[in-house]
Amino acid sequence: MKRTPYTQKDFDWHKLTPKQIEKAGIEAVIYKKAVYKKIKEILPEHRTYENTLYALERSEGPHGELLRKAALLGEVSPKEEVRTAVSKTLIEISSQMVDIEYDRDLYISLVEYYEGNFRDEKKNLKKEDIKLLEDTIREYRRMGFDLPATAQKRLKVLLKKSSKLGEQFRKNITDYSDYILCTAEELEGVSVRFIESLPKDEKSGKYMVTLQYPHVGPFMQFAHNREKREELAKKNLQKGGKKNLTIINELVAIRAEISKILGYAHHADFRTENRMAKKGEVAEKFQNDLLKKLIVPAKKDIDEIRAHAKTLGIETLEHYDVAYVGNSLEKKLYETDPEVIREHFPLSFVMEQMLKHFGKLFGIKFVQKDIKTWHKDVTVYEVQNKDNSLIGYMFFDLFPRTGKYGHAMCVDTAIAHEEGFNSGIFTVPITGIVCNFPAPSKKSPSLLSIREVETLFHEFGHGLHMTLSTSRHESQGGSNVAWDFVETPSQIMENWVWNDEMLKKLSSHVKTGKSLSKEMRAKILAGKKFQNAYHFMRQVLFGKIDMDLHMGKIKDVNEAWRAMVKMYIGIELPQKETLFAAGFGHLVGYDAGYYSYLWALVYAQDAFSEFEKEGLSNEKVGLRWRKEVLEKGSSEDEMKLITNFLGRKPSDKAFLKELGVK
């Protein structure tokens, strides 16, 4: 599998201008139209796998990759005009792409091949080729091509509208900007490092605490000033704005109508059909069963917080108190000051140790390259096999900026795939990890909390899944797997953070260079399960509100969320400020799929139990995970992948043990 190393020129796409982005969108549409036209013109007797199904698989040509790169710039570019151009272009071409892809004649072309020459060619095709064909035909049927023309026409209109609304919903969250102003006294409790990271308001000279993830989290945990916590929390509840409420209500209605037209009971059934769950009711049962097991221990967690709140002079626990009181209680029980812990995790050192450890575990290495990108803080690594042969590239964009995507994500900017049918020549993947860790200042390097270390490992797991892919077909490569399996390769990685040996290896005090003491490591590990039931209860509730919404069980999502929080957690959210759905970005993309985080964790914990059994540095197990899961993408059924790795049927025992629930 020979791949040619890239030079700076191969990364100059980061210089894309608004005009070039607009042009790329136009050319992508023209190219795809031409490919589809050519496929449909082939006579049935002349159809082959290569000129029909494979041609469809490669119908984006070079333009698809260029648009993915542009989409990345839409999330990370420091230039507002570039971000705006990307958003505008993607919205404009999305409806045109629906026009092209929603083509019944193309479906007929596939059926002609499937019911014709495929029967003779089948014996010479690989298993992943056959799987791709069958999956593709199923997806075309899910587009309604077995329905009357009037129904197909209506679906086309709805799909266009849904795509546009989804893009706008995401953009509204990304662009939403608000903050509170604080004096130095009002910041009491937060760290000096945190204060140094805050911008200042030019008029008042006060510190600005924004709704960016690195601001909201620490402030709600550590700031003593209750009024300011309330002020920031209420602003955060309104993220996305009321216009996003209108959008999500319209989107849910559109999804329901699409599902009904296609013959599904609701959107949840439509969404889960091609996932591991297969039915909405299966995912719902998974969540409800877990909810039943978590109710008692989660109530105990909340009662502990409520009791501790009274010792702090807080008689009635409010939504803006939970993180603060919980942090105080954790400090009391485990005596671990998060800021002291943070001093032991300089980002540069954590990165170095992470790449070294997993490089050895998976038989790869990371070589930093001097490549310029959209920002000076971005680092690029060439990923190689032990024999120095090229695998791909990974970049890390880890600090917050104005206009940048506000959370953590991993993007497959260029997906590895075979260039030409059965050519044996593969493209070079480019994978990006985007986070928002505390930026370094003049006085301090970037220092991570233990949870931020966990986030880095999580996204790195996605990155490895994408980068190490050897799937021949792009649509089967890397993280292009069943939606409720996609988090398994990332969630398994978090386990290494919560291991005594690894904690010692990852830590190096910013001043002394000493690793965490044995006593501190023990407290961190003991505290790992602190409020675990409450944490997972919240995760289940996020999945439940998503599933209930898309099964048609609720009308007002914000009121339903307030009711759930009150029923299961005992906290009253403010009616006026709670615009939960407006800022819950997972309602677009993860719609009827948020359950998948915990679903995937079942398999992640089961797989990690193999490492626990054989050793967290066991290269044989690591290479088996790489070969059986990371490299294969969805070229085989996901259940088969995990079963092959385990050498047995999957079990939920490790998952339940991790939750501390019987």
Contact 49, 125 (CB under 8 A): yes
Whether 644 is in a domain gets the answer: yes
* Residue 117 parent element (H or E): none
User: C-alpha 98: how far from its chain's center?
Assistant: 24
For residue 256, being part of any structural domain is answered with no
Same domain? 435 vs 495: yes
Same domain, 354 and 232: no
Which one-letter DSSP state was computed for residue 380?
A: E
CATH of the domain at 608: 1.10.1370.40
Which pLDDT belongs to residue 632? 97
Task: Please check whether residues 380 and 453 belong to one and the same domain.
Answer: yes
Q: Which of 196, 221, 237 is the last residue of a domain?
A: 237
φ, ψ dihedrals at 419, nearest 5° = -90, 100
Give the count of domains, the chain.
Answer: 3
Residue 122 falls within a domain, yes or no? yes
Check whether residue 117 and residue 184 sit in a common domain. no
Q: How many CA atoms within 13 Å lie on the side-chain side of 426?
A: 23
Q: Decide if 438 is inside a domain.
A: yes
Q: Mark which of 237, 266, 284 sits at the end of a domain.
A: 237
* Same domain, residue pair 194 and 129: no
Q: Can you give the pLDDT at residue 70? A: 96
Q: If we measure between CA atoms, which residue out of 277, 292, 345 comes closest to residue 659? A: 292
Asked whether residue 352 falls in the same domain as residue 420, the answer is yes
Whether residue 459 lies inside any domain: the answer is yes
Which residues does the chain have with pLDDT short of 50?
none
- Is residue 211 domain-resident? yes
Cα angle 323, 325, 330 (rounded to 5 degrees) comes to 90
Residue 201 forms part of a structural domain: yes
Predicted local distance difference test score (pLDDT) of residue 662: 64
pLDDT, tens digit, 9 for 90 and up, residues 266-300: 999 999 999 989 999 999 998 998 899 889 989 99
pTM: 0.82
- Is 337 a domain residue? no
For residues 486 and 633, membership in a common domain is answered with: yes
Residue 382 and residue 365 in contact, taking contact as beta carbons nearer than 8 Å: no
User: Which distant-in-sequence residues (6+ apart) come within 8 Å of 457 by Cβ?
Assistant: 354, 493, 494, 496, 497
Dihedral, 546, 552, 556, 558 alpha carbons, nearest 10:
-10
Q: How high is the pLDDT of residue 208?
A: 97
CA distances from 162 to 168, 258, 370 (A): 10, 10, 41
* Domain shared by 120 and 181, yes or no: no
459 lies in which domain range? 347-531+596-659
Residues 134 and 185 in one domain: no
From 223, 237, 325, 235, select the one nearest 572 (Cα to Cα): 237
The residue from 237, 264, 279 where one domain ends is: 237
- Who contacts 221 (Cβ-Cβ below 8 Å, separation ≥6)? 323, 324, 326, 327, 338
Residues 446 and 506 in one domain: yes
Claim to verify: residue 198 and residue 138 sit in the same structural domain: no
Give pLDDT tens digits for 112-142: 999 999 999 999 999 999 999 999 999 999 9
Q: Are residues 461 and 351 in the same domain?
A: yes
State how beta strands 364-369 and 430-434 pair. Answer: unpaired
pLDDT in tens, 378-404: 999 999 999 999 999 999 999 999 999
CA distances from 516 to 108, 340, 507, 510 (A): 63, 10, 6, 11
